[in-house]
Each structure stands twice: as structure tokens, then as C-alpha cells.
């Protein structure tokens, strides 16, 4: 758990716009990122493993309204964002999305996010546990000529799985024409909604931004389809772990950098040369000089006992790393984990051991993702 989450949870958690909707469906609610969030549901299709498997087979509806939905607008919006993000923003075509990072001058990761060129403005979706810190950071460093808006009256729903496109197309015509990392404005029941084809499960899917007043009607329409069932945080976490996707506050923190974290693709090649953004010098040094002492890797474990966050990784008697995420993989049928290990032990196939409650569990460095992504890319 990140420090940000801890700070939030010292205060009474807020209710999601669909709080009552979740409870009506037997959701077990837990505090997360300042909100009460559904971790899993009751009923025939409920439970973390069942929800995980249904996402792989059909389509699941996740409520991710805790995320921060922001926009930056004004003539200088792209220029100002490029002071803070290592990814290209000015060259991002309308309707296209890009993964990016907020960095400190030392190259530490403040947050990871998605930026989209909507046409009128640039939309940012940031992590729920970090959004207030992100907003403060943006307000401090963006020029007064641009406008930062927080859409705190909008819900965000994620429909994920191989049947997500056909289920959403049935009630929102035209969305199936989107491809991975593209977005557009659509209508549902006479209301404008913003739909992007992306997600956090490794499966094809969509994230739908809808005003909170219409979120229930949209959720009801989606789960009325036999292909769609609700799913909670538990399945979301096991799916993203199988997909090899890092979670901020766990696999990414202020103490990690993009190169060590395996996120060098977010440092666009052109901008590496030109610079001009926070953390550029520190990231360039790590890229050019191999200045990373540790690397984020995947690990597969033998048996059925998983290694959890914080478990130490050993090579012989030497501690060489620490797990940042771990759990049992329902898809693969064995435990998997991610963590940081010393660079010399980061090679695929390297045999290591993980200390779990004083017991050493054999593990091997494995390529990420553990389960192949099934995004709907252009031309696929």
C-alpha cells in the first residue's frame, strides 16, 4: 500500500457514485484510495477467481471512478504538458491516447497516467491514490495561461474482456470502430459519454467516462447483457499482474525510475534528445550509462504458495531484490510475482529464491507479460 493510500484511509472513505448499485449486488466493500471500493461480489458469478476467469472469457464491468479525470486546455496546453511529461504531447493526433509519467527532477515517478488529445483539450487519467498530489503538482508547474479542470462529478467504468466490444456496441453504436489507445465522443440514451479503448487487464476493453447522474443507467444497461457481469478490485489486481502491468504505490514509487521499471518506451526518442522535461537528465544518464542497479522483472514460483509484496528475493545467501506485487495466477495455475532485483540477476531464466515466512520458495525470472495481451490494435 502506498503512503498516499494510507493518508486517505486515515480519513473516512468517500462513496463512489455507484456505491448503492454495488451493495445491491452483494459487493464486499473495502477502503481503497480514499473510497469504499468493491473488492468482489456475491452470487453465482462472484468471487475473485470467478470474476477473473469471466473477464478472460467474456466481459466484466469494473468501477474505476476513484481515478482522477483531469483536463488541461488553452493554446499552450501541449507545450506546458511537455514540461512535465517525457512523452510527446504536441505530436499526439486528435483521438489518440498515450501512456506517460509525471517525474521528479531526479527521475522518480510521481505517477503514471494516460494522456489523450480530445481536440478541445488534453485529458489526463491519473491514479486515484495520487490524484490530489498530481493536481497540486500540475497547478504548481503549469503556466497560468492554461486551465486545469478536475471532472470530479464524472464516473469512470471499465468494460473488459473479449466480448466487451460486442456488448458495448449493442448500446453505444460505433464504439467497435475504436482501436487500442484511441478514444472518442459517443452517445448513450441521449447523453454524451467519452469512450476510450484501453484498460488495465491485458484484455480488449473500454473505459467509459459518464456523468455521475447517468452512471447507474449505463451500468444497468451493461449488466443486463448476459455477456457482462460486475467485477471488483480483486480480479482487477490479479488480471493486471498476469498482464505484467505495474501498480503505482507498489511497483512504481518516487524511489523508482522509468528505466529501472522497464518503462523506457514512455521516454519518447525525440524528447530524449531534446529534453526540456522534469527528470530528463537523470533518465538520460540511466539510459546511456546503464545506471540502473536494479530492474523490474517477472518471477514465476513453483508450487501453489504465492510470494507477496515486501518478500525478499535471494540468490544463495545474498539478498538481491524485493517483491512489489505477487499472487496466484488463476489463468496459469501457479504463483507469479513482480519485483526489483539487482541488474546482474535480471536475466530471463535466472534461478532465485523468495523468502516467504522464513521458507525459501524456488523462483525463476520470467518475461512480462505472463499472459499475452489481447488488445485490439489497428489492422488486427
Same domain, 45 and 95: no
Q: Let me know if residue 324 belongs to a domain.
A: yes
Q: List, in sequence order, the alpha helices (H) in 226-305.
A: 233-242, 269-274, 280-289
CATH number at residue 98: 3.30.70.1400
* Cα of 58 vs its chain's centroid, Å: 21
User: Could you identify the residue written with the cell 455477456?
Assistant: 227
Lowest mean pLDDT among 1-10, 26-35, 150-159, 286-295: 1-10
- Residue 288 is predicted with a pLDDT of 86
pLDDT in tens, 317-365: 999 999 999 999 999 999 999 999 999 999 999 999 999 999 999 999 9
pLDDT in tens, 57-91: 999 999 999 999 999 999 999 999 999 999 999 99
Q: Would the pTM of this model clear 0.85, i.e. be above it?
A: yes
CATH number at residue 211: 3.30.1360.120
Domains held by the chain: number: 3
Nearest to 348 by CA among 362, 332, 367: 367
* Residue 197, SS3 per DSSP: coil
Distance (Å, whole) CA 198 – CA 376: 9
Distance (Å, whole) CA 164 – CA 155: 18
Same domain, 289 and 162: no
Q: Is the pLDDT of residue 242 over 70?
A: yes
Distance (Å, whole) CA 163 – CA 7: 38
Last residue of a domain, one of 186, 209, 242: 242
Average pLDDT of span 170-197: 98
Last residue of a domain, one of 150, 175, 201: 150
Averaged pLDDT score across all residues of the chain: 95
Same domain, 54 and 74: no
User: Could you identify the residue written with the cell 507469479?
Assistant: 336
Cβ partners under 8 Å of residue 209, min gap 6: 69, 151, 154, 155, 156, 193, 194, 195
User: Could you identify the residue written with the cell 498530489?
Assistant: 133
pLDDT tier, 5 (very low <50, low <70, confident <90, very high otherwise): very low
- Residue 11 is predicted with a pLDDT of 75
pLDDT above 70: percentage of residues in the chain: 96
Distance (Å, whole) CA 59 – CA 169: 13
Nearest to 345 by CA among 279, 281, 299, 276: 299
Distance (Å, whole) CA 91 – CA 74: 16
Distance (Å, whole) CA 35 – CA 157: 15
Which residue range forms the structural domain that includes residue 185?
A: 3-66+152-242
Distance (Å, whole) CA 215 – CA 208: 10
Q: Let me know if residue 379 belongs to a domain.
A: no
Same domain, 84 and 166: no
Distance (Å, whole) CA 58 – CA 167: 9
Say whether the peptide bond before residue 174 is cis (omega within 30 degrees of 0).
no
pLDDT in tens, 145-182: 999 999 999 999 999 999 999 999 999 999 999 999 99
Q: Let me know if residue 252 belongs to a domain.
A: no
* Helix and strand element counts for the chain (H, E): 10, 20
Nine-digit cell at 69? 479525470
pLDDT in tens, 251-306: 999 999 999 999 999 999 889 988 999 999 999 999 987 668 999 999 999 889 99
Same domain, 59 and 203: yes
Same domain, 110 and 176: no
C-alpha to C-alpha distances, 373 to 161, 319, 327, 339, 365, nearest whole angstrom: 11, 32, 19, 20, 19
CB 115 within 8 A of CB 72: no
The Cβ of residue 1 has, within 10 Å, a number of other Cβ atoms equal to 12
Same domain, 209 and 340: no
Same domain, 88 and 193: no
Amino acid at each position: 500500500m502506498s503512503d498516499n493510500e494510507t493518508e486517505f484511509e486515515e480519513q473516512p472513505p468517500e462513496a463512489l457514485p455507484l456505491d448503492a448499485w454495488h451493495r445491491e449486488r452483494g459487493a464486499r466493500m473495502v477502503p481503497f484510495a480514499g473510497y469504499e471500493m468493491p473488492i468482489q461480489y456475491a452470487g453465482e458469478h462472484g468471487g475473485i477467481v470467478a470474476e477473473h476467469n469471466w473477464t478472460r472469457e467474456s466481459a466484466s464491468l469494473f468501477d474505476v471512478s476513484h481515478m482522477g479525470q483531469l483536463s488541461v486546455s488553452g493554446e499552450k496546453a501541449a507545450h506546458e504538458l511537455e514540461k512535465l511529461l517525457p512523452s510527446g504531447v504536441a505530436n499526439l493526433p486528435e483521438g489518440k491516447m498515450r501512456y506517460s509519467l509525471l517525474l521528479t527532477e531526479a527521475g522518480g515517478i510521481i505517477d503514471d497516467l494516460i494522456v489523450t488529445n480530445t481536440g478541445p483539450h488534453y485529458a489526463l487519467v491519473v491514479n486515484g491514490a495520487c490524484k490530489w498530489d498530481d493536481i497540486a503538482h500540475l497547478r504548481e508547474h503549469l503556466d497560468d495561461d492554461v486551465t486545469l479542470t478536475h471532472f470530479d462529478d464524472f464516473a469512470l467504468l471499465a468494460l473488459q474482456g473479449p466480448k466487451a466490444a460486442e456488448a458495448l456496441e449493442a448500446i453505444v453504436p460505433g464504439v467497435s470502430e475504436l482501436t487500442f489507445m484511441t478514444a472518442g465522443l459517443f452517445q448513450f440514451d441521449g447523453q454524451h459519454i467519452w469512450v476510450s479503448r484501453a484498460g488495465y487487464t491485458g484484455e480488449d476493453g473500454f473505459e467509459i467516462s459518464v456523468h455521475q447522474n447517468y452512471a447507474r443507467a449505463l451500468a444497468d444497461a451493461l449488466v443486463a447483457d448476459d455477456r457482462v457481469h460486475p467485477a471488483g478490485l480483486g480480479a482487477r489486481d490479479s488480471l493486471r499482474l498476469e498482464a505484467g502491468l505495474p501498480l503505482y504505490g507498489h511497483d512504481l514509487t518516487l524511489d523508482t525510475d522509468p528505466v529501472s521499471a522497464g518503462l523506457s518506451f514512455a521516454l519518447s526518442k525525440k524528447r530524449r534528445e531534446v529534453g526540456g522535461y522534469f527528470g530528463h537528465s537523470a533518465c538520460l544518464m540511466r539510459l546511456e550509462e546503464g545506471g540502473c542497479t536494479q530492474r523490474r522483472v517477472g518471477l514465476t514460483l513453483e508450487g501453489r504458495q504465492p510470494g507477496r509484496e515486501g518478500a525478499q528475493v535471494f540468490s544463495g545467501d545474498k539478498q538481491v531484490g524485493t517483491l512489489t506485487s505477487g499472487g496466484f495466477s488463476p489463468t496459469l495455475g501457479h504463483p507469479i510475482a513482480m519485483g526489483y532485483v539487482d541488474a546482474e540477476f535480471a536475466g530471463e531464466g535466472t534461478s532465485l529464491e523468495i523468502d516467504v515466512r522464513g521458507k525459501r520458495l524456488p523462483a525463476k525470472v520470467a518475461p512480462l507479460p505472463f499472459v499475452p495481451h489481447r488488445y485490439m490494435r489497428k489492422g488486427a
